Structure 1
Amino acid sequence: MVLGLQGRRTVTVLHILCCLWAIFALTQNIGLPQSARRERENTYGGQWKHLTFLNQIFQTILFVLCVIIDVVGLCIPSHEKKVSSILVPVRDFIFATLVFPVGLFVAVVFWGLYAYDRELVYPRELDEVNPIWLNHSMHTTILPLLFIELIICPHKYVSALKSIFGLTVFTITYLSWITWVHHASGIWAYPVLAVLNVPGKIVFFSIAYCIVLMFYFLGWLLTKQLWARRRKQL
């Protein structure tokens, strides 16, 4: 879909605002003060063992790429084709394979477990450390950012095989990482894992993977329907 100059400027402004928020939320998460009672949980793997933190990194990278592509297209049109040929496929792959399915998973599963029993995912003692707005920046505002990006940018999905392979590799890598963290330090990234036995963990991980996979196809379907309809309106 080819946008007019005003439309491209609007998209650029939205991308810049999303990018600034993503960077701000990520830096605030990094600078989070540590609770003395949770010091042990910060001794191995740090925040890198939390999917929420990884998702914030993915979203930040995505919006940085979007801003670069937009700004080059508006300010240095002679370089637009070259830059887009390199960065657009990367942007689209990150959005389709990681940002949309993982971001949606983080928001839905976190608040689902929180509603059932918050101690399984976000113990009350964290309220003493995390301001409420920071909790929402990690688990709530990521959701509207996903749909803003879905609506304003026509991402091209690569073959489902490549995307599912990439998503599967990430899932296996992440699950292997948090399992190793527990093996090396006795720390589970999330309290819910501490109350499950081995079969329970296998079922939990399997269901989690199926949910992420479902969210990938949801992103693909929404993108296809939304942008197919818009192209017909041109």
Structure 2
Amino acid sequence: MVGRLRDPRLEGFVHLFCFLWALFSLSQNVGLPHSVRRESENTYGGRWKYLTFINQILQTLLFGICTIVDFHRMFISAKKNSVSSRLLPLRDFIFSVLVFPVGLFVAVTFWTLYAYDRELVYPKELDEINPAWLNHTMHTTILPLLLIELVTCPHKYLSKLKGVVGLSIFGTSYLTWILWVNYASGIWAYPILEVLGIPGKAVLFSLSYLLMIGFYVLGEHLTKLLWGDFRKHKK
């Protein structure tokens, strides 16, 4: 276990750095110019159709909460530290149920599809609009941020059933959203969905769900390996 190596000031600095980087990455994504080559961003749903963008929002929110908790702990006495104690459950939920499995899913699936056929997920013409470093802020650096958070501080996990249900609600909501966007506008959020038939889409959605559940279990296992069971709910 690495708990003995924890330093509140170092932890606060790391979280502040991660928050500023996540905020910078998000702002750069939002600041991308609209283009006919990215016409889907100008239509129904905007950038909210993309799991990459939603994941950036979640990561920024997580590290913002972590920074608030850290600074409250450093500068406010424990008796008056009600704000941080109330934020802890929210911080742990966002990381364990959303940020870790969703972030890992975004990074792994994007680069897997990119290596197989980039036109299925990130057409080559986007290179003329998006600088390579910006692509990496959206799909690559999110992974080390997850690992940094994993080893920086422990997170309390819900019971496996509640955690899986929470992630399933998120996944189902997102799937419903992109299906609705297609129904309302005729646009698929991802090029791969344009070339798959109904059976192919069903297989893709099912595999994606199982993969995210697997990443949730992996996060729980790694947290237990690094920090032990003392912070896990006993239910």
- 1:140-219 matches, cutoff 5 A: 140-219=140-219
Q: How does 1:14-163 map to 2 (within 5 A)?
A: 14-78=14-78, 81-163=81-163
TM (norm. structure 2) is 0.93
> Which moves more between the two structures, 6-15 or 108-117?
6-15
Q: Is the 8 A contact 1:52 1:106 kept in 2?
A: yes
CA contact (8 A) 1:178 1:189 kept: yes
What's the CA shift string for 1:167-200, capped at 9, x where partnerless? 0001010001001111111110000000000111
What is the TM-score normalised by the length of structure 1?
0.94
Query: Does the aligned pair in 2 maintain the 1:73–1:80 contact within 8 Å?
Result: no
Equivalents in 2 of 1:2, 1:68: separation in Å? 20
Deviation at 1:84, TM superposition (A): 2.9
Which 5+ residue runs of structure 1 have no aligned equivalent? Answer: none
* Distance across 2 between alignment mates of 1:80 and 1:12: 19
User: Which amino acid in 1 is paired with 2:105?
Assistant: F
Q: Which residue of 1 aligns with 2:8?
A: 8
Q: CA deviation at 1:81?
A: 3.9
Q: Which amino acid aligns with 1:90?
A: L
Q: Do the aligned partners of residues 2 and 116 (structure 1) sit closer, same or farther apart at CA in structure 2, a change above 3 Å counting?
A: closer
Q: Do the aligned residues in 2 keep the contact of 1:69 with 1:80 (CA within 8 Å)?
A: no
Tell me by how many angstroms 1:160 deviates.
1.1
Aligned residues: CA RMSD: 1.9
Q: For 1:18 and 1:93, how far apart are their aligned partners in 2?
A: 18
- Letter aligned with residue 123 of structure 1: P
Aligned residue-pair number: 230
Distance 1:125 1:79, change over 3 A: farther
Q: Report the AA paired with residue 18 of structure 2.
A: C
Structure 1 window deviating more from structure 2 (111-120 vs 74-83): it is 74-83
SS in 2 for 1:114: helix
Shift of 1:158: 1.0
Q: Structure 2 unaligned segments of length 5 or more: list them.
A: none
- SS at 1:34's partner residue? coil
Corresponding letter in the other structure for 1:193: L
Q: Secondary structure at the match of 1:117?
A: helix
